[in-house]
Amino acid sequence: MEQKEWTPDEKFAIVIEGLKGKISVADICREYQISQSLYCQWRDKYLEAGKRGLANDVPEGNAYRAAINKVHRKWRGFNFLSSKNSYNNLAILFILIAFSYTCIRAYVLSLTHDEAITFLNHVRGSLFDIFAYRRPLMSNNHLLNTILVKIFSNLFGTSEFVIRIPALIGHGLYLIGVYKILNLFLRGRFLLLGTCLLICHPLMLDLFSCARGFSLGLGFLILGLYYFFKGIKGSEFGQHMKDNVFAAIMFALSTLSHLAFLNVFLSVMVVFVLSELIALFKKGPSINLVSKQNTYKKVFFTVVPSSLFLLMIYTYPVVKMMRAGSEFTYGGTNGFWQDTITSLIGVTLYKPFLNANIILFAKLLIIALLFFSFLISLYDWLTKREFELTTKYLVSLILMLLICSFSVILQHFIFGIKYPIDRYAIYLIPIFFLLILVCWQDIRFIRSKLIRIPINSLFYLIITILLINSINRINFTHFYQWKYDASTKNVINSIIEINRGEKLEDNSIGLGIDWVFEPSVNFYRTKYGLTWIRKANRDGPDGIFDYYYLTYMDQEIIRKHNLSIIKKYDLSSSCLAIRVGSLVKSGAYDFMANFGDGHITPDRETSTPTGKPVSISKGFEVRKEKRDVIVTLAGSKIEFDIPKIREGSKLALGVGMNSKVGDGAEGIISIEEGGSSEIIYSKYLNPIDRSEDRKWFDETLDLSKFKGKKVKIIFEAKPGPKGDATADWFAWSNPVLKF
């Protein structure tokens, strides 16, 4: 690369950075690719003549003093008012905003399917169960996350926020790591843009507020990369070794957080060993015994302890999961490029920016960036026979991505493990974004504007599009990959509100659910102590329940069981439903709507249109007034089971007959409870002989004496005094139990 011509402002910023003493002069010179002697020249000129001395234009007399005073005024405000410091402060502000965002989401969002499985299946088990992977659905046991959730829930109780504290810790670690690693090679607006790029990915923001091991994994991963980069930057043996050991520990903890991060651990260990061996062999004939020993020590203490530790922890569980055959099922079989890369593009963009053409363009862009990074590295090597500091970062990141990809492909062909998709390959996102930023940093020193400006503009465009897309995905309502579970908490709260004030027996309320809601429903049943709701299972909603929690795709269930939707949740495409006329709907139980639940006696064929002695009749007319009714032929009855009579319950209905033959009929309503029966209403009607009976009689019956009891309400018709049942249809119009 050609030597850059530095402006006085750029020289001033570099000199001031050295005078502040926060970063060594050697590091500053490496970063800006200048010699220490040149820096010392600039510093001496500045100290002698202020900023104007850096332009080789030293004023005389009063003009000189005025220039010095101007420089001093700028220096006094530099720490807080300079554009460079402003960018740094803005980066910290955005980091705090991002952390606040995930904290709020962790508090307000409904617990998801996978979070609930982790809590119910693993967190509630013993520590031995957790380490031995003894509970079902082993792939949901993200070891370090599960242990921390268990600790925090034991200390602070069970709530969504408490369960998600480990995820928030992971996010905090990630944000700290991002700030520290970017400060190794970025300054000013580049630091701000790089921070925004790395902290605003939509799927990562989802995972940072979700009680899964991915958050801790990402946090330890970025800290591991920071120490790894710091080790590359350092030259002193002791510090170099310390940084590499810390990096290995961070990557091991990342793998303990989620097994998917094992690919990163392996790739970093390979890159580290290769870099150490290459550095050793480059010394050639001048290599001595001490250098060899130091290299072997670094390799041993960095690679061996962490590798043995992970081998000890994971060998048994991994073998167990592979034998089970049902644990590594989340992924694809079409290929790394088609499954893994396509899915990562998908979770980066989401709709409405996602279509086949954009995916193709994104893939071409990824190839171009990787190829461009390779060219930069090759250029550095061919021109200088060694890599500059940022190029070392770049080469390391390229190798990590390649080795991770190779590891994934190898696992598929050797063990049959599916290619990871979306969150199971999330570790590739921060590594690739870091590669973009390091690559961008490397091209800043290209002197030719014809080359530098278009490339710079492309990087600005890419980062701007990604940031706008990520900001557009911000929400406090749901997780994108578990959107179907966004309303589970609201559904359970609705059921609680409907039954508020009721003294319900254990397991007295049934909830029919689509299988995807089973873990989260059981979590809220546990959290709120709702023993009166029966434990949910995965048998599906095709049955008789008090409530139904369904998706919009369950239309057949709604039709089959004559369900009425009482609440819709458009966000999650789900609904809360009950059987039409159920006791909970509008505080009433409609007997006509629930006619199918009634038991008819005697169950025999008749000459009626329905072929039954009891039926529903639409437009039954008495004295020119038509009503919808349940009609019972004299000598028959229908019984309805009522789980519980509530306080203030009243039975409202009308009775009437329109017979033109016979001697009338008697209508009887009785309540059966605990084997005994009590008549609460009876009325004899004979519209043929008595004109006063040729009308509807509206009645309201108080059932308070049966409060809290499970009963049968029986509607019965008996023949008149002569025992003639011909055409003796006794009509019950719109019978409703109100409470």
Question: 203 and 290, same structural domain?
Answer: yes
Which of helix, strand or coil describes residue 581? coil
The top-scoring range by mean pLDDT among 219-233, 385-399, 592-606 is 219-233
| pLDDT above 80 (res 605) | no
CATH number of the domain to which 599 belongs: 2.60.120.260
Strands 563-569 and 574-579, by their bridges, are antiparallel
Strand-pair partners of 670: 679, 714
Question: 675 and 648, same structural domain?
Answer: yes
Question: 113 and 158, same structural domain?
Answer: yes
For residue 572, tell me if it sits in a domain. yes
For residue 1, tell me if it sits in a domain. no
Task: Indicate the number of domains in the chain.
Answer: 4
What pTM did the predictor assign? 0.74
How many Å apart are CA 487 and CA 567, to the nearest integer?
11
How many Å apart are CA 121 and CA 146, to the nearest integer?
10
Question: 293 and 273, same structural domain?
Answer: yes
How many Å apart are CA 210 and CA 218, to the nearest integer?
13
Question: 477 and 357, same structural domain?
Answer: yes
Sheet of 665-673, strand order: 599-601, 636-642, 711-719, 665-673, 676-685
| pLDDT above 80 (res 404) | yes
Question: 19 and 159, same structural domain?
Answer: no
Report, as an integer, the average pLDDT of 650-660: 89
Q: What is the maximal distance between C-alpha atoms in the chain?
A: 135
pLDDT at res. 253: 97
Report, as an integer, the average pLDDT of 395-421: 93
Other beta carbons within 10 angstroms of residue 278's beta carbon come to 9
pLDDT at res. 53: 55
**Confidence band, pLDDT 50/70/90 cuts, at residue 187:** confident
**Confidence band, pLDDT 50/70/90 cuts, at residue 353:** low
Report percent pLDDT > 90 for the chain.
45
Of the ranges 47-56, 239-248, 596-605, which one carries the lowest mean pLDDT score?
Answer: 47-56
Question: 403 and 284, same structural domain?
Answer: yes
pLDDT at res. 80: 41
How many Å apart are CA 219 and CA 196, to the nearest integer?
16
How many Å apart are CA 692 and CA 664, to the nearest integer?
13
**Confidence band, pLDDT 50/70/90 cuts, at residue 318:** confident
Q: What's the Cα-to-Cα distance from 384 to each of 380, 396, 448, 452, rounded to whole Å?
A: 6, 18, 19, 21
pLDDT at res. 58: 45
pLDDT at res. 513: 94
Over residues 271-299, the pLDDT tens digits come to 999 988 887 777 666 666 777 788 888 88
Cα of first residue to Cα of last residue in the chain, in angstroms, is: 85
pLDDT at res. 4: 64
Question: 617 and 696, same structural domain?
Answer: yes
How many Å apart are CA 123 and CA 143, to the nearest integer?
10
Those residues with Cβ within 8 angstroms of residue 455's Cβ, 6 or more apart along the chain or in another chain = 443, 446
From 579, 602, 626, give the residue that closes a domain: 579
Question: 221 and 102, same structural domain?
Answer: yes
**Confidence band, pLDDT 50/70/90 cuts, at residue 202:** very high
Yes or no: say if 225 and 249 are a contact pair by the CB < 8 Å rule.
no
Strands 511-513 and 547-551, by their bridges, are parallel
- E strand or H helix that includes residue 576: strand 574-579
Over residues 129-143, the pLDDT tens digits come to 898 888 877 888 899
From 579, 610, 642, give the residue that closes a domain: 579
**Confidence band, pLDDT 50/70/90 cuts, at residue 77:** very low
Yes or no: say if 140 and 118 are a contact pair by the CB < 8 Å rule.
yes
- Exposure string (b/e) for 438-477, b if CB count within 10 Å is 16 or more? bbbbbeeebeeeeeeeeeeeebeebbeebeebbeebebee
From 545, 579, 613, give the residue that closes a domain: 579
Of the two residues 377 and 666, the one the predictor is more confident about is 666
For residue 19, tell me if it sits in a domain. yes
For residue 2, tell me if it sits in a domain. no
pLDDT at res. 405: 94
pLDDT at res. 722: 83
Of the ranges 16-25, 478-487, 566-575, which one carries the lowest mean pLDDT score?
Answer: 16-25
Yes or no: say if 573 and 552 are a contact pair by the CB < 8 Å rule.
yes
Question: 295 and 217, same structural domain?
Answer: yes
| pLDDT above 90 (res 552) | no
Range of the domain at 528: 487-579
Question: 95 and 18, same structural domain?
Answer: no
Question: 137 and 76, same structural domain?
Answer: no
**Side-chain half-sphere CA neighbours of 531 within 13 A:** 4
